[in-house]
Amino acid sequence: MTATANIVVVGAGLMGTGIAHAFLTAGCAVDLVDPSESARTKAARTIDRLFDEGVQRGKLTAEAATGARTRLRPVAAVEEAASDACFVVETAVEDLVVKQTIVRALEARVGDDVVIATNTSALSITEIASAARRPQRVIGMHFFNPVPKMKLVEIVRGLETDEPTLRAVQDWVGRIGKSSILVNEAPGFTTSRISALLGNEAMTMLHEGVASAEDIDTSLRLAFNHPMGPLELGDLTGWDTRLKVLQYLHTTLGEKFRPCPLIIKMVKAGRTGRKAGKGVYEYDAEGNRIPGSGLRTR
Ligand SMILES: NC(=O)c1ccc[n+]([C@@H]2O[C@H](COP(=O)([O-])OP(=O)(O)OC[C@H]3O[C@@H](n4cnc5c(N)ncnc54)[C@H](O)[C@@H]3O)[C@@H](O)[C@H]2O)c1
């Protein structure tokens, strides 16, 4: 890999920020595309902070961090991204039509041989790819939040995904220092399918007043050694994203994935999680959880 491999990351939210940071850390130049100016600004600020922390922890030198920062270029539209990109990751909102529109725009912008990887949490890769002129180069590349800490990338093969596309993604996963598993397309793959069910059940217990949010989370941490409870994890993931995943899994896999009404209410109230400063828990301006802030439903 040369230091100037150009990567396009579409979507500068929670995940796009972490994914851009991963490719910058691996020596790539990243064009980070998002129509929202506030998302672009926040992403650049977060990436700066991640590099500062990396220097403080001795993971990279101050010079390397400065170099990496200069290789980030936030832009507003796919049409402004590098046309000589060698790899693309789509990570905009979890919406089939939005993702299909982005894939079409990307195909018009980058070369025919460039792989378009989508970070969808649950949607059908085959269906996203059906909008493409060359569906064989579309593949799922499912990262986990927070990207700098989480080692796994779930690679998801759509019906038309070809072998060179699969190998290219496996290669990139290695270059950014992560490990992969391979999944044949199925709604929610392996991870989102399990995690959506767990989070939905935890939320249903909160809704029914079975226990407090804090105690539900503590039960999973201390009884089963989960590093984080399912409600804390939902706050980190974002309940808006969680809801979209559950709605899709409900449609495709059936009744057991029907979203808990409390999740729907929380999203309507803007309690989408850490990114909004409040979800099941509330957070201060520094992002620290406010003790005793767990949502009360009884
Ligand atoms: N949050 C998680 O834990 C997680 C984990 C794995 C995968 N994902 C998936 O990653 C994707 C992004 O999730 P997120 O949590 O970063 O969401 P987010 O809400 O933090 O960010 C989404 C971003 O997409 C942008 N966007 C909307 N339309 C766009 C367009 N046409 N072009 C470019 N950008 C556009 C929005 O402005 C926003 O900044 C979703 O598909 C989600 O399912 C999320």
Instruction: State whether the beta carbon of 192 lies less than 6 angstroms from ligand 1.
Output: no
Rounded to whole angstroms, the Cα distance separating 15 from 11 reads 8
Question: Are the beta carbons of 145 and 18 closer than 8 angstroms?
Answer: yes
What is the 15 CA–ligand 1 centroid distance (Å)? 6
Say whether both 178 and 205 belong to one domain. no
Question: Are the beta carbons of 202 and 230 closer than 8 angstroms?
Answer: yes
Provide the number of structural domains found in the chain: 2
Residue 281 lies in a domain: no
Rounded to whole angstroms, the Cα distance separating 240 from 112 reads 34
Q: Is 160 exposed, middle or buried (0-12, 13-18, 19+ CB in 10 A)?
A: middle
Say whether both 105 and 169 belong to one domain. yes
Nearest to 83 by CA among 104, 64, 107, 100: 107
Say whether both 220 and 164 belong to one domain. no
**What pLDDT score was predicted for residue 187?**
94
Instruction: State whether the beta carbon of 119 lies less than 6 angstroms from ligand 1.
Output: yes
Helix then strand then coil, in percent of the chain rounded to 5, is 50, 15, 35
What is the 10 CA–ligand 1 centroid distance (Å)? 9
Where a domain ends, among 167, 184, 201? Answer: 184
Rounded to whole angstroms, the Cα distance separating 211 from 30 reads 45
pLDDT band at 99 (very low <50, low <70, confident <90, very high): very high
Question: Are the beta carbons of 29 and 4 closer than 8 angstroms?
Answer: yes
> Tell me, what CATH number does 264's domain have?
1.10.1040.50
pLDDT in tens, 75-93: 999 999 999 999 999 999 9
Instruction: State whether the beta carbon of 118 lies less than 6 angstroms from ligand 1.
Output: no
Mean of pLDDT values over 233-239: 96
Instruction: State whether the beta carbon of 91 lies less than 6 angstroms from ligand 1.
Output: yes
Q: Which atom of ligand 1 is nearest to the CA of 98?
A: 31
pLDDT in tens, 267-289: 999 999 999 999 999 999 999 99
**3-class DSSP assignment, residue 141:** strand
Say whether both 46 and 178 belong to one domain. yes
Rounded to whole angstroms, the Cα distance separating 37 from 48 reads 17
Q: Which residues form the domain of 220?
A: 191-276
Asked whether residue 2 carries a pLDDT value surpassing 80, the answer given is: no
Say whether both 127 and 16 belong to one domain. yes
Instruction: State whether the beta carbon of 44 lies less than 6 angstroms from ligand 1.
Output: no
**What pLDDT score was predicted for residue 201?**
98
Residues 6 or more apart whose Cβ sits within 8 Å of residue 272: 238, 239, 240, 266, 279
Task: Extract the tokens encoding 186.
Answer: 């199925």
Task: Extract the tokens encoding 142.
Answer: 């499912």
Question: Are the beta carbons of 74 and 40 closer than 8 angstroms?
Answer: yes
Residue 262 lies in a domain: yes
Instruction: State whether the beta carbon of 238 lies less than 6 angstroms from ligand 1.
Output: yes
**What pLDDT score was predicted for residue 1?**
44
Residue 212 lies in a domain: yes
pLDDT in tens, 114-148: 999 999 999 999 999 999 999 999 999 999 999 99
Asked whether residue 4 carries a pLDDT value surpassing 90, the answer given is: no
Site of tokens 């059936």: 254
Say whether both 203 and 64 belong to one domain. no
Say whether both 36 and 165 belong to one domain. yes
